[in-house]
Every structure is written in structure tokens, then in C-alpha cells.
Chain A
């Protein structure tokens, strides 16, 4: 008893429950449009209002999306699933129950591979199941509340991991990778600002002190809808739970209740909401209005065929196939459109490395300025590839290509035409190059002298001269030929 911070070892344990809104046109059990920011209570029908006698019918696409995600998470897909009613009484739940899946989730026992220092790490997936979203309450109305039920019935996929995440960074990576995965699969738009992904980490700490191991009570931080808040909440809880245990060694799992907490973004702290002492009593039972779902092999194979190469695998392939760094590969596969666009452009160019450079340095800048992904720029992969090919074949210099790229954003002309009309086609003409080099040598005697006679400065001086020649040519000199000319002239001067 009486351990100090310096005597203990603390290991963070985090599992996630995540609600992912599926990118369907309509709600889970009725044909009302899934909407955001519409007039309150304008996307309702007898089914999602819970009117007596109305019968729900399952949205096939929602189920396919859920199965596809389950497969991507390496889950077993249940042959037989059913729908259950989870009863609770709250104004945002018109039927007084939520349709969910209780004991037979459609996907279970998988693993999600996330990038981790020096490779990857597998995070176990316990289950993934479909359920309907509730509506929205507006609480800050004095002595009453307002309810908008437009969101009620929106399809959600709840994904539950094993408690196998062990740092705030890993928690952050898990969430960002899950967003990347679901947007890659096209099963969700994954827009955090619209609440399309809501993360709930379950956090506790394993403390080893004096040869004994203790576990703190589990706190569940509710409804995080930004990656930054996920990292902040996990970091904060790690510190807080260790401190609470140091202050009171009975602050332990089962000796003290588990807690629900909320994240205060402004203060950067989690706030106690309530104890989870009493297990919730939801009175689950099978929904008699909905028939079970049987997934046969043909159906499963059909969905499996639509499974694309997953982001992590694609990143690793990019490193090997295109010879790009791990970081650059991550940027190139950031989203599926960009990765697809890059692969088409690289193939068109026959020069993946040059294409990659342009994606990372030029196109991504334009994309950032416009708040879109590279794949969504108004320039086709074909034209991007053409521009890369021109640099690779030294028709234009890399610098000139930047100017052409900028013009391509607003012009539909072919890059080669633009290069010509902008006067940027590389000059490989011997006489013209000789005259530029001669001019630069005449105007920069000091640099020339350093390049010939001062070994410490040779390299910098040669670089300077190259730059001057490119400048004199307006970026048009063939850089390699210009370099050769400079070296030849210097060699002649050294010899003479």
C-alpha cells in the first residue's frame, strides 16, 4: 500500500464501440430519405414515427454494406441473423424501442489490421451489427426539450473491438483507419462533422506495483466525433485513472463502479456523467415485425467480389511496386479516388516516381487549396499522367511542369499544347545551351572561380551555376544537358 507514481508501471487498455452511418439513400426500415440539415421532422413516415400498425421492411443495401464491412474486418458472417427490440423510453425514440441485433450480430470474430510502428497491428473485432439511429433532442430550451426525428431510423453499423489498443496514438490510428476503410468500401461517407462516425472508447489501466497487478474501473467516453477528441479523451483518461488509483488504491475494477463520461472539448477533460452500476435493463426480444435474414454462399460470394484492395494492403503494395516511402504511400492511398487516380496516371506516364512526386508536391497542393482530394480535382488521371511523362522524357523541366499543372486546373488543353503555348518546352539545342552557359559564366566570375579552385565550395558553386542557367533560360533549358555543358566548360578551364 501507498505506491508512488515512480514505483508503478501502467498499461493503457482501450476498446472501441463505433457507430458508422451507412451511405444509403433511405432509412433502415422505411423509404424516407436519409437527410442532414433538413427542416426538422420532414423526413418521417408511419414506420419511423412508430405509428401503430406500420411495418418495417429491411433495406437491402444497408445489409450488403454491413456484410461488406464485416468481410473487410475479417469477420465471420453469420448465416442466420435476426432483429431484436431494445426497449427504452426516451423522446428521441418514437417506438420506445430501437431495432438492433442482440445475440446474433451479422458479423463477429474478426480483426482489423492498422499501421503501427514498424509494421502493423491487429485489433480484434468482437462483433458488428446493424441498428437504427435515434432522433435528436435539443436540450437547451429552459424547462422543455425539442425533438427532431429526421435522423430516427438512419442505418448504423456498430463495430465493437476487443480491448487491444494500448496508446492514445493507437486509438487515433484505429479511428482514422476505420474511417479510411469505410470510405474506401463506399459504405459510409465518414463525415465526422455530420456525426457519421461516433466513437466511444472504453478505457482502463492495468497497474503493476510491488509485484501485484491492479485494474482501474472502466470508463466509457460517450459520443466522440473528432479524431482529436478521441486522442485527447484517451490521453486524459490514462492520466486521470492512474492518479485516481495513486490517491486511492481501492479505485479498482469491481470495487468501484464503471463510469460513463463525456468529453469537454474546450477544457480538454472528460467529465463524469454517471455510474454504470446497474446493468441496463433493455428487455431485448426478437422483433415479430421483421423476419430473419439467411445469408447463403452465393450472396456472400457476390458481396466478397465487390471487396476492393484494402487501404493498408494497397499502401504496402505502393511501397514495393512504385518505390515510394511509407509516408508517401500513405498520402497516395489516403482515399480511394486519389489512389485510383494515381495508379491510372502512373500507368499512363510509365513513370511512377515522377507521377508520385507530382501528386505529392503539386496536385495535393491544389487539392488542399480547394478542400478536396486529388482524385476529385477537375484534371483527369490521363492528363496528369501525360504531364508526368513529359517531365520523365525531359520535354519540360519539373519546374515548368508546376506552371503547366496550374494552367491545367482551368484549361482543358492537352499538357503538351500548353507547354508549347506557354513557351516551356525544354531547349536541348546545343548552340542555345552554349550561349546561356557562356552568359552565366561571364556574369558570375566568383562562382566560376570557386567551382574550379576551391574544393570546399565546388559543389555549391556548381549548383549555383546550374540554377543561373535554368533561370537565364526561363526554366526551358534541358537540366541534364545544361549540367553537362557546365561540367565540360569547367573541366576545360581546369585543364587549360
Chain B
């Protein structure tokens, strides 16, 4: 099932926007080239004949890995916040959230 993967600048801009990344035009150009090369490399897999290979959702032949519903210790809030650039009390403080209309 070979699928044409085409990475162009508009797709890179779109994904950058979804990821809330502000890329410069130079970065867009560079990313487009690099991502095309990476995806093109992966696309070589499409050359294999997989007609007789069943689809799989996971690389490992493992399923049903569970844990019991038992509480384990959490971080205290200072530890949880220790990587935060900004905090207020025990809250993370972040730039005001703007609804751009394309979020969840």
C-alpha cells in the first residue's frame, strides 16, 4: 500500500500552526526540505509487498498490560512546578490563553 507522502510549505505551515510553533520563512523552507527527505526515506517501506501481512496497531506482540487501581505517591506541588518558567502559588502561570477557533 504505497502512499504518496508530499511535504510542501503549506503543509509545514499548517502543522507548525497546529503545534503552536512560530517558524520563520527560512525555517519553513529548511523544514520542508528536511521533512521531505525523512518522509521520503520512510516511504521506501511502501515498496515492500505487504499484501499478506495483517495490519497491526503496535510493534510488540504484547497486549493487556495493566496495573491495579492502587494509589502511588505523587510529587509535592513544588516538585511538580520545579520546571515551570512561571508560577503563582501552586499554579502554573502561562500566557493568556487565546481561543483561535481551531483548538479542541
Cα–Cα, bound, A354→B90 (Å): 56
Mask of B50-91 contacts with A, CB within 8 angstroms, 1/0: 000000011110111111111111111100110000101111
Residues of A contacting B42 in the complex (Cβ-Cβ under 8 angstroms) = none
Give 27 CB contacts A-B under 8 Å. Answer: A25-B69, A26-B70, A31-B71, A40-B77, A40-B89, A49-B75, A49-B80, A57-B66, A59-B67, A60-B67, A61-B68, A88-B18, A88-B104, A89-B18, A90-B97, A90-B104, A91-B94, A141-B96, A142-B96, A146-B91, A147-B93, A280-B104, A281-B14, A288-B58, A291-B62, A292-B57, A293-B63
Residues of B contacting A149 in the complex (Cβ-Cβ under 8 angstroms) = 80, 92
Docked complex: A271-323 residues within 8 A CB-CB of B:
273-275, 278, 280-283, 286, 288, 290-294
Cα–Cα, bound, A294→B70 (Å): 22
Residues of A contacting B90 in the complex (Cβ-Cβ under 8 angstroms) = 39-42
Assess whether A4 is interfacial by the CB under 8 Å rule: no
Assess whether A87 is interfacial by the CB under 8 Å rule: yes
Assess whether A137 is interfacial by the CB under 8 Å rule: yes
Assess whether B3 is interfacial by the CB under 8 Å rule: no
What's the least CB distance linking B74 to chain A, in Å? 5
Assess whether A143 is interfacial by the CB under 8 Å rule: yes
A146-B69 in contact (CB<8A): no
Cross-interface CB contact of B58 among A39, A60, A82, A89, cutoff 8 Å: A82
* Residue positions of B touching A, CB distance < 8 A: 14-15, 18-20, 57-60, 62-77, 80-81, 86, 88-97, 99, 101-104
Closest to A83 in B: B57
Cα–Cα, bound, A280→B86 (Å): 30
Cross-interface CB contact of B75 among A44, A104, A278, cutoff 8 Å: A44
Q: Which residue, of B57, B88, B101, has the highest number of chain A Cβ atoms within 10 A?
A: B57
B74-A147 in contact (CB<8A): no
A148-B91 in contact (CB<8A): yes
Cross-interface CB contact of A32 among B74, B76, B86, B94, cutoff 8 Å: B74
A60-B66 in contact (CB<8A): yes
Closest to B66 in A: A60
**With A90-B97, A288-B58, A291-B58 as given contacts, are A45 and B66 in contact (CB-CB < 8 Å)?**
no
How many contacting A-B pairs (Cβ < 8 A)?
A: 144
What's the least CB distance linking B51 to chain A, in Å? 21
A58-B65 in contact (CB<8A): yes
Cα–Cα, bound, A347→B77 (Å): 53
**With A82-B58, A143-B96, A286-B58 as given contacts, are A40 and B65 in contact (CB-CB < 8 Å)?**
no
A147-B94 in contact (CB<8A): yes
Cross-interface CB contact of B71 among A26, A57, A62, A274, cutoff 8 Å: A26
Residues of B contacting A269 in the complex (Cβ-Cβ under 8 angstroms) = none
Residues of B contacting A275 in the complex (Cβ-Cβ under 8 angstroms) = 101
Residues of A contacting B94 in the complex (Cβ-Cβ under 8 angstroms) = 91, 144-147
Cross-interface CB contact of A44 among B20, B71, B74, B88, cutoff 8 Å: B74
Chain B at the A interface: SS class? loop
* Residue positions of A touching B, CB distance < 8 A: 24-26, 30-33, 39-45, 49, 57-63, 82, 87-91, 96, 104, 137-139, 141-149, 273-275, 278, 280-283, 286, 288, 290-294
Of all A-B residue pairs in the complex, the 3 with the closest CB atoms, nearest first, are A31-B72, A61-B69, A146-B91
What's the least CB distance linking A355 to chain B, in Å? 37
Cα–Cα, bound, A87→B21 (Å): 14
Closest to B91 in A: A146
Cα–Cα, bound, A139→B93 (Å): 11
Residues of B contacting A26 in the complex (Cβ-Cβ under 8 angstroms) = 69-72
Cα–Cα, bound, A142→B96 (Å): 8
Cα–Cα, bound, A281→B65 (Å): 30
**With A40-B77, A288-B58, A292-B58 as given contacts, are A90 and B103 in contact (CB-CB < 8 Å)?**
yes
A91-B92 in contact (CB<8A): yes
Residues of A contacting B60 in the complex (Cβ-Cβ under 8 angstroms) = 291
**With A41-B90, A41-B91, A45-B74 as given contacts, are A57 and B65 in contact (CB-CB < 8 Å)?**
yes
Residues of A contacting B67 in the complex (Cβ-Cβ under 8 angstroms) = 31, 57-60
**With A58-B66, A147-B92, A293-B64 as given contacts, are A25 and B71 in contact (CB-CB < 8 Å)?**
yes
Closest to B102 in A: A278
What's the least CB distance linking B100 to chain A, in Å? 9
